[in-house]
Amino acid sequence: MTFTRSLDFVMNHLEDYDRVSKFCIELGKTHVKFMRRGFKTSFWDIFAEALTECAIDWEGGLRCRDVLNGWRTLVSFIIEEMRKGFEKERKRQAAEETVQVARERTAQYFQEQDALQMPSPPRQSLHQSHHSRHGHHQRRFSPVSERTNSDFQRFAATAKCPYAYRASHEQLYFDQQPYSNY
């Protein structure tokens, strides 16, 4: 949306504070993309000053205080709401990028760990070892748990879950077989 259209929208909806505020916040959010081209937050103040100077020039130097005060108030409101939207979007994008980088690094770490070592055989607790030495049943995979495990791995790979490696090598999906002779 162009500057002129944006200003027309604000002027046409001066009585609807919430609508104008939301519009300006959304407009401010769109300015985050200009940071790649050198946009700086100090530009907000320069823009506000330029708008005020335009109003003075437009008025023809008569300097009607009420008009100038009203214009300054409106410009300050527009810029402040745009700045809020800009900062909110900038923080959201920065947080999103941080999460993405963390996911990629964690996934890379687990891939490197997977390449360095073969998964160890399932561990048995002392309780299980005692029962296996005395002829009791051991825990085993069932077709259901194997399918669940492979479904989880497929989901984790699709979602780029960094914990896929670890979870797939833990005993999370073993069926709990009741011990006989209890």
- The pLDDT of residue 177: 45
In the predicted structure, residue 171 carries a pLDDT above the cut 70: no
Compute the average pLDDT of residues 62-72.
Answer: 79
- Residue 52 pLDDT exceeds 80: yes
pLDDT, average across residues 47-74: 80
CATH of domain 3-99: 1.10.490.10
What is the pLDDT averaged over residues 69-92? 93
Q: How confident is the model at residue 29 (pLDDT cuts 50, 70, 90)?
A: very high
In which band, very low, low, confident or very high, does the pLDDT at 107 lie, cut at 50, 70 and 90?
confident
pLDDT tens, residue by residue, 119-143:
555 555 555 555 555 555 555 545 4
Domain boundaries, the chain: 3-99, 121-182
pLDDT, mean of residues 36-57: 87
Q: Give the chain's largest Cα–Cα span.
A: 102
- Check residue 179 and give left, alpha or beta (phi > 0: left; psi -120 to 50: alpha): beta
Q: What is the mean pLDDT of residues 23-51?
A: 91
User: Which of the four pLDDT bands, split at 50, 70 and 90, describes residue 152?
Assistant: low
**pLDDT category, 2, cuts 50, 70, 90?**
confident
pLDDT at position 75, please? Answer: 92
